[in-house]
Structure 1
Amino acid sequence: MNYHNVISAVVRALAAETINSAGGCDFEPKVQMAKQKGEISGKDAALLADCIVHKLLHAQLSPRHWNALVAKYSTHRGRKIDSIGRLVAVVPTPAPKRFTQQAVLVWAVPQQSKGIQRKVSEVKAPAPREEERDGQWEWRNKAAAESVARANRHARAVAESKPGEMIVLAESNYDMTTWDSQGLTERTYQRWSKAIRDHLESMVDEALVEAQHMLEAVGVLSGEAA
């Protein structure tokens, strides 16, 4: 099995894990257990090659490089989410953690077209009841606000859910003004976001270079570099 370029190899290798999502990328031992005579061919051979590449890259790449590739290219929901979380911890940025989490998330899950994007229908908290004396309606006002907050969290969760492995975020996730509560300038948020994205793309580029060297060494790249 030869791949046209390194990106093709990485994408196919990561997709192989989704195909075998019930047990991970474990197609190789399944083939051995089947005790098939002669060489395997066709789709089985291609899938086996993809799984071997997956195993090679996972074993040889550094954790940060592996997580960068998984976060960007994987369609395995669980693996992608895990790698996104791990990247948050290694991205150098002065931005608060919440902002960094959202910036990494939307980099790994780009905004979809309007035909796919889901909007969140959120409700607004009712105006607090006016008190004639201190604390008269405090508990009711607080309960109403908490109830609205729970309803909106549920609405966002529903909007972001989708059958299968694909991750679809609610449109509100792409609004940078919701990533931080300090009320800083848009220019500051744009600078933070760009720096985080640039660093992540740099990690992906480094990972692809390393992956290319590995795959060239075992002779499975037939085309040009990425």
Structure 2
Amino acid sequence: MIYTSTLAAVVSALAAEAIDNTSKQAWQKLYRPGYADGGSLECLMRSSGERGITRMDADCWVYARLHSQLIPRHWNSLMARFSTHKVKKVEAIGKLVPLIASPAPGLFVQKAVTAWAIPPMKGVEGKRSTRDLIVLPAGWYDMNNWDETASPERTRRHWRSLIVKTLEDMVGEALKEAEQILRAEGVLQSEAA
């Protein structure tokens, strides 16, 4: 299984985790800890024989590999930004909030991180199925509701931009680390291809 980019691998792996399918852990039967030939996805693909390794197997393997090898800050930034698993996305948001150094009040930081992780969606007013998605009320995105001290709008915009920059930097760092992990595992298309 070869992914075209780090982002494609991350998004695919995080989406696989949200699918409730008992066979998604089949890759674990192929993994043999302690054996030299059991440590990479490429080895698992060779050892899977006739059955072959499915896309779901590969995605779940990548999910587990990234989860075990990325530092918590990087893992949580990817989960908050790209996961479709409601509970894990909310948990990741909660773990990111205390990491944001900001002069803004705590409520403002919490709402800004949440709004970044769960952006408003077009077409949710009955035109689109939102059963499996987190949809926040429109008022959530109004910065007037984020600051009980009634700071000037310019200040609130500055705070928000710094928070978003910090979060985007975390995601950028996490994707760089994920790329190194995935390249070492041999699951990313080479740039020459």
TM-score, scaled relative to structure 1: 0.71
Query: What is the match of residue 154 of structure 1?
Result: none
- Which has the greater radius of gyration? 1
* Structure 2 residue ranges without an equivalent (≥5): 32-47
Residue 115 of structure 2 is aligned to residue 106 of structure 1? yes
Root-mean-square deviation (CA, aligned residues, Å) is 2.1
Q: How do 1:27-38 residues align onto structure 2 when only pairs under 5 Å count? A: 27-29=26-28, 38=49
Deviation at 1:15, TM superposition (A): 0.8
Q: 1:212 aligns with which of 171, 179, 184?
A: 179
Structure 1 residues not aligned, in runs of 5+: 119-161
Q: Offset at 1:102?
A: 0.3
Deviation at 1:163, TM superposition (A): 2.6
**1:92-103 correspondence runs (5 A):** 92-103=101-112
Residues 4 and 18 of structure 1: CA distance in aligned 2, closer, same or farther (over 3 Å): same
Task: Give 1:40 deviation, angstroms.
Answer: 2.5
The structural deviation recorded for 1:25 is: 6.0
Aligned to 1:26: 25
Q: How far apart are 1:31 and its partner, in Å?
A: 7.5
Given that 2:24 and 2:57 are in contact with CA atoms closer than 8 Å, whether structure 1 keeps it comes out as no
| Equivalent residue in structure 1 for 2:50, among 15, 19, 39 | 39
Whether 2:12 is the aligned partner of 1:12: answer yes
> Percent identity of the aligned residues?
44
Contact map agreement 1:65 1:207 (CA 8 A) in 2: yes
- Work out the number of aligned pairs and report it: 172
Q: Which residues of 2 match residues 1-226 of structure 1 at below 5 A?
A: 1-20=1-20, 26-29=25-28, 38-41=49-52, 45-113=54-122, 115-116=123-124, 163-164=131-132, 166-224=133-191
Distance 2:179 2:54 in 1: 21
Mapped partners of 1:24, 1:202: distance in 2: 35
What amino acid is the match of 1:40?
Answer: R
- 2: CA distance between counterparts of 1:208 and 1:11? 11
